[in-house]
A and B are shown apart, each in its own frame.
Chain A
Amino acid sequence: DVQLVESGGGLMQPGRSLRISCKASGFAFDEYAMHWVRQPPGKGLEWVAGIKWNSGSIGYADSVKGRFTISRDNAEKMLYFQMNSLRSDDTAIYYCVKDTGEEGAFDVWGQGTMVTVSS
């Protein structure tokens, strides 16, 4: 089965750092771009970062640029998201998402990991 499993979420104080992870299985991880999409409680979806298959191209939403870093380890089939200088408005479910490639869509979503930033 094609699967993405996130981990590492939790309750963090403002200004602290957190790294969340995503383990992929069931597909050729090293052939696809991957993304992080977040969803604040009760609100809509926000794309926050994406990385090409070979890490050669990386993009961020303005809301996280300079604070968050996306990375991947193709040998381990892992996607990472280092989140620094956390703020209360970073509170959200963070989804790990697989890109379809040529179709320009997101075809596999993890169950998400909840990150709560609060003092």
Chain B
Amino acid sequence: VVLTQTPLSSPVTLGQPASISCSSTHSLVHTDGSTYLSWLQQRPGQPPRLLLYKISNRFSGVPDRFSGSGAGTDFTLEISTVEAEDVGVYYCMQATYFPLSFGGGTRVEIK
């Protein structure tokens, strides 16, 4: 399963929204009915951090300005108002099929 993220880079003004898309070559709906699509954030010099799981569920401690949507093969991560600490690379990941796979990443930077 190949995950394609767009855009590759997203220059954003502080306080403005940002949106990242993740498109899969195969439907990510598992035979158990769940869709195992998650989003991770990697700040500069840090390991990745889980933001959202199963499309839209925020992980513990994740601010509510992060939200996820989508179904089947197309998914979106939205940041309602970008803050300076949101700078980094964002990855989608699928765990519906083996081998597990990540999108290529989208860099969020401040204009």
Seen from chain A, the residues whose Cβ lies within 8 Å of a Cβ on chain B are: 35, 44-47, 50, 59-62, 95, 100, 103-107, 109-112
Pick 19 A–B contacts, CB within 8 A, sort by A. Answer: A44-B102, A45-B105, A47-B93, A47-B99, A47-B101, A47-B102, A95-B47, A95-B48, A103-B36, A103-B57, A104-B34, A104-B54, A105-B50, A106-B40, A106-B50, A107-B53, A109-B49, A110-B47, A111-B47
Q: Which of B38, B47, B96 has the most CB atoms of chain A within a 10 A radius of its CB? A: B47
Q: Report if B100 contacts A (CB, 8 A).
A: yes
Given contacts A47-B100, A62-B99, contact A109 B57 (CB under 8 A): no
Cβ contacts under 8 Å, B93 to chain A: 45, 47, 105-106
Complex Cα distance, B46 from A95, in Å, reads 11
By beta carbon, the residue of chain A nearest B54 is A103
Cβ contacts under 8 Å, A47 to chain B: 93, 99-102
Cβ contacts under 8 Å, A106 to chain B: 38, 40, 48, 50, 93
By beta carbon, the residue of chain B nearest A45 is B102
Partner of B50, one of A61, A62, A107: A107
Interface residues of B in 26-85 (CB under 8 A from A): 30, 34, 36, 38, 40, 47-50, 53-54, 57, 59
By beta carbon, the residue of chain B nearest A47 is B100
Is B102 a contact of A104 with CB atoms below 8 Å? no
Partner of B105, one of A44, A104, A109: A44
Cβ contacts under 8 Å, B57 to chain A: 103
Complex Cα distance, B38 from A107, in Å, reads 10
Complex Cα distance, B36 from A105, in Å, reads 7
Given contacts A103-B57, A104-B53, A106-B38, contact A59 B48 (CB under 8 A): no
Complex Cα distance, B5 from A96, in Å, reads 24
Complex Cα distance, B99 from A59, in Å, reads 7
A32 → chain B closest CB, angstroms: 13
Cβ contacts under 8 Å, A104 to chain B: 30, 34, 36, 38, 53-54, 95-96
Cβ contacts under 8 Å, A103 to chain B: 36, 38, 53-54, 57
